[in-house]
Homo-oligomer: A and B are copies of this chain.
Amino acid sequence: MRIVLDASGGDHAPQATVAGAIAAARTWGDQIILVGDEAAIRAELAKHDISNLDLVVVNAPEIIEMTEHPAQAIRRKRNSPVAVGLRLVREGEADAFVSAGHSGATMAGALFILGRIRGIERPCLVTHFPTVNGYALLLDSGATTDCKPEYLVQFAQMGNVYAQKIANIPMPRIGLLANGEESNKGDKLVQDTHGLLLQRPDLNFVGNVEPKDMLINGSADVVVADGFVGNLVLKFGEGVFKMITTAAANNIKATWRQNLALGLLPTLAALALPGKGRWRAVIAGLTGLSLPASLAVAPLLALRKRMDYRSHGGAPLLGVNGIAIIAHGKSDALAIQNAIGQARNAVEQRVVATISHALETVELVPSA
């Protein structure tokens, strides 16, 4: 397999991208095509032992700034990593494209260069959103902000294929994100989409899912929303989690001395008294003090790990004629490697062909 990586994209490029590419090439034996500023990439590669690895460098020196309009930039900067990388995919010289750079540019580039899958109105991004017992596939999490009900139905279809192929769920439960379970909840877009989804024989539609259904009860495998709402709740979830850990950390800081003092008291009392068992008492007190303190930190650390975008790598853009994975701008080497792994999975599971096939099959079924 041949995966193109935007080696100049992301906050920690090219260190993280090159290290991630090397790890991926070593783990899976794939060819990784590094596109970007060739000199910088080669300088970074020189720091590693890359013997026996299939690494190719393609120069693509033009830089798309974060302030640039994505669609215009893609048209104008034909030698940017995104434009060069996606052309390699279109021309069959690579199987997938991964970037942690300007996500708008990747989305616009994928639309212009790869094109849409025949029949698909708009693309959507898929995110693994952590829940109490695992995760839900949230889509669209940011590709198409202004949607019609028909778009959301297609997002549901694409999510259905993705959940079957990638998450190995035979009959994924499809939910519509809303502020209440009843079919009259949500705004007009949600209500109209609800009506359309009820008529789809190809989808296991479980109705509206409230946030608590999605996060606590795990009522749906695939959660559908428009790109504005999906992206907003994604950021809202990250924000609330950050808020809680920040507030908890402030609280631990604030009460730490007090707790420490209380915990140390018996130890100090033992130390002050004369007698043979004095040191034993001190050791018992100190050990008893430090070990259970891990109770305070462990649960939050465990959750943070599950909420960490790095474990899933990135968000696949569905609906375009090829595999494009949008990795987090803050991606480190592990996140880049996982994003490449995600691209591999999508290629192996023939996600694009399956979405295309699902659309064709469904069109044969008369809607109610």
CB-based contact A263/B291 at 8 Å: yes
Most buried by B among A131, A132, A246, A277: A277
Closest B residue to A304 by beta carbon equals B244
CB distance from A105 to the nearest CB of B (A): 14
A215 contact from B179, B239, B266, B286, Cβ within 8 A: B239
CB-based contact A281/B292 at 8 Å: no
A211 to B288, CA, bound (A): 40
CB-based contact B299/A177 at 8 Å: no
**Which of A74-82, A251-259, A352-360 is near enough to bind chain B?**
A251-259
A236 to B136, CA, bound (A): 14
Number of interface residues of A (CB under 8 A): 82
CB distance from A182 to the nearest CB of B (A): 9
Mask, A272-307, CB within 8 Å of B = 1, is 010111101111111111111111101110110010
Residue A265 lies at the interface, judged by CB distance under 8 Å to chain B: yes
A291 contact from B145, B262, B278, B300, Cβ within 8 A: B262
CB-based contact A246/B212 at 8 Å: no
CB distance from A178 to the nearest CB of B (A): 7
Known interface pairs A146-B187, A216-B243; A294-B259 also in contact (CB < 8 Å): yes
Residue A167 lies at the interface, judged by CB distance under 8 Å to chain B: no
**Which of A13-21, A30-38, A148-156, A223-231 is near enough to bind chain B?**
A223-231
Residue A112 lies at the interface, judged by CB distance under 8 Å to chain B: no
A211 to B210, CA, bound (A): 19
Residue A142 lies at the interface, judged by CB distance under 8 Å to chain B: yes
A247 contact from B238, B248, B299, Cβ within 8 A: B299
A238 to B212, CA, bound (A): 8
A283 to B267, CA, bound (A): 9
A250 to B134, CA, bound (A): 13
- Apart from A214-B239, A277-B277, A287-B288, what are 18 other A-B pairs with CB-CB below 8 Å? A145-B187, A211-B235, A211-B239, A216-B243, A216-B246, A236-B236, A236-B237, A251-B299, A255-B295, A263-B287, A269-B284, A270-B284, A277-B278, A277-B280, A278-B280, A285-B288, A290-B292, A292-B293
Can you identify 22 A-B contacts, CB atoms within 8 angstroms? A132-B243, A132-B246, A179-B231, A210-B235, A211-B232, A215-B243, A216-B246, A233-B233, A244-B244, A244-B303, A248-B300, A251-B298, A255-B299, A262-B291, A266-B283, A266-B288, A267-B288, A273-B277, A273-B280, A277-B277, A284-B284, A288-B289
